[in-house]
Structure 1
Amino acid sequence: MSLTASSEIHQEHKAKIKQVLDEVGKVVVGQEYMVNRLLVGLFTNGHILLEGVPGLAKTLTVSTLAQVLHLDFSRIQFTPDLLPADLVGTMIYNQREGKFEVKKGPIFANIILADEINRSPAKVQSALLEAMQEKQVTIGETTFTLDKPFLVLATQNPVDQEGTYSLPEAQVDRFMMKVSVDYPTKEQELEVMRRISNMKFDFTVNTVLTKEDIFSVREQVNKVKISESLERYIIELVFATRKPKEYKLDEQAQYIQFGASPRASINLNLAAKAVAYFEGRDYVLPEDIKEVALDVMNHRIILNYEAEADSVKTTDIIKAILNKVPISK
């Protein structure tokens, strides 16, 4: 493909991505940041964990995005009595045929909304996260490959909410990003109130992207260039979470129990490429890496009890690392 043709495809996709944001904006007020991160996950094949108190339009945003993308969508409400079979499916006996048949569960869709994932026990969480990692599930003796694209967008309430089961760190690590969803501004909340109060408000949206478009954008994002110096910069950022004293982060070192896993390096690279692509560039800048660093690493750094006692957050640690670690030359 010629450079001109590639550029034209890029511009066409960029226009469609803007259209996606506009369509979602017809229904959801604000939350552009959340939608941007959901699209980063979609175009880099990474799952996203959304954390925020109830009522911040997390569920509405994900379901609206699925409509705009015209993808098969399943919403699974996680509850304490949910079973793994409720998620992946099970074998049922067909009396007429005299044999067992597979009944597939709601996980067989392109976009899975795991609503309030931290309200279900560990076995159900593990079943979902195994499907996320392997892109397949086993029912009975048969293994089924999940449809592509396959994207899990999970929501959870903060851990101090009543009746929740915190996700184990090893499982949370499988999410590409953990995005904190904040309250709307006064003007945004005023608009939300007016829309919801208007019984005739139209919540329908138009389809913008097809599956083929999504796979095409993924190919283009994969072609975004990242220099060796920036690749090494990513490695330095991640290693600073593991050996902070080597990077003169003595103050932060006392609070870190475990640093970020290798998935942090992989996902920093992928997310930075997606951000560069959204900006219309075919190369990554240091600012792209810094922009996604908080979301990629905030759930991968395990702090100790001293941090809790001193009210130190992972975001504080990451900001200190970004300020201290120089860009490799």
Structure 2
Amino acid sequence: MRISAILLLSLFLLGSCNQHKKRVIAVIPKATSHVFWVAVEKGAKDAGKAFNVEIEWNGAASETDFSRQIQIVDSMINRRVDGLALAATERKALVASVDRAMKQGIPVTIFDSGLDTDNYTSYVATNNFEGGQFAARAMAKLIGGKGKVAMVMHVPGSVSTSDRERGFEDVIKREFPDIKIVASNFGMSDRAKSRAVAENFLTANPDLAGIFGSTEPSSVGASLAVKARGLAGKVKVVAFDASESLVEDLKSGAVQAIVVQDPYKMGYETVRTLVDKLDGKTPAKRLDLPAKVIFSEDANKPENKLLLSPELK
């Protein structure tokens, strides 16, 4: 009798513990080191605290290592996490993993960069096509609506950055007939490679008026190349995404404009969509977050400081 009572008490306590166990949401970025992803992590973890869920943050070291990202996603699915958030490094490679998660009843929110599928719970991202359009209009303003420009692109297969690049091309071709995009190439998410690409642009086009970098590494590479040639201020640089060095260049005039996102809000809203789904609500299928252009002369405005240095949040 005594043994039966102890057994019943143990089962009751075990059930009670399981009822109060925190739900786990895995958040998997493209990479972990860049300040953009650090700010996404902060937003996600603050949302975790606000909504009483545990955030499991894990990502590859490099944005080009999609095989490692697949391994991380699959391990989270095998662990049966309650929800999964993913910023896909490649638009096709992660589709099968996301399909598997959804089939097993694990809701998936895609954030920052999309996939070639609609089989997900929600999609939270900056309107990157619009951001690229903003960059093009900023460039046109800076070079007086005419001249030769080039693009240091990110990597093949990345939805978010290819949208920016398409947006830039779209506006230049439609709205500014006197501006010609004379060169474009991938910097492969690497500052040194992006600098080499920009150096080649400058060598081949000594009359180049401007360079657009569609990501932080692309933009840093472009800035380094321009400064090394003594062309800071003469060849205009429009960047996408901020970092400490780019903000310094913005203030010094080596970079004339930066298109910024709100990665903290992206991380927070991504977690919110999954919590809503787990609570039986229906989150929006798509949530677009606006981008903003910040010119050199506006860098010190209070409303821009947190966007330029999102890690401060």
TM-score (norm 1): 0.26
Task: Pick the structure with more strand per residue.
Answer: 2
The structure whose Rg is larger is: 2
